[in-house]
Amino acid sequence: MISKLAAVGIATLLFATSSASAQARQVQPRDSAGMQRRAALEGQVRQRIAVMVKQRLQLTDAQAQQLQETEGRFELRRRDLMQREQRLRQDLRQQLTPGVEADQQRVASLLDQIMAVHRERVTMTEQEQRDLARFLDPIQRAKYLGLQGELRKRIEGMRQGRRAGRAGAQRPPGRRPPRQP
């Protein structure tokens, strides 16, 4: 289980990332002080997570440094894939909006693109595992893979909570959200 400190850090990072990107979309001139605060906050969260991972996997200082470098190489690609998939899924949702006639070819294209992103993610994970195998033993790699999955699950849960909060804020007063089965 992820420590409360790491969970709070992840939540803070997600909040900072989402609010900063929302602000960047709304305001053209970028607030350099705000960007610096965001970067500092992200750095603190990454540091806390790195400490937690080092402890959980019982890494040496050299292994921890190599892991950080390896993660840095893959993080940009991972983020790009996630953003591409989000855009594709948003486009797909728009195509499938009730009352709007969906373009069959566009839907097929979007589905193909989503599958291509999934294949890229699998290929990237395989590449990452090969890189990790250079300095982590199989047990450390397995534990790290589990930690990554746990972190992603928590992040997704927090995102869904934020979406639900935004949807609740947009509901007319006195209306309840639909019950989940």
The predicted-structure confidence for 52-86, as pLDDT tens digits, reads as follows 999 999 999 999 999 999 999 999 999 999 999 99
Q: Is the pTM of this model over 0.75?
A: no
Sign, CA torsion 50/52/57/58: positive
Residue 167: both structure tokens together: 């949807």
Helix, strand, or coil here: 135?
A: coil
Task: Report the distance separating Cα 77 and Cα 8, nearest Å.
Answer: 25
Residue 154: both structure tokens together: 């928590």
What was the pLDDT predicted at 171? 52
Grade residue 30 by pLDDT with cuts at 50, 70 and 90.
low
Would you say residue 140 has pLDDT above 60?
yes
What was the pLDDT predicted at 172? 53
Grade residue 144 by pLDDT with cuts at 50, 70 and 90.
very high
What was the pLDDT predicted at 53? 94
Would you say residue 121 has pLDDT above 90?
yes
Q: What is the mean pLDDT of the chain?
A: 81
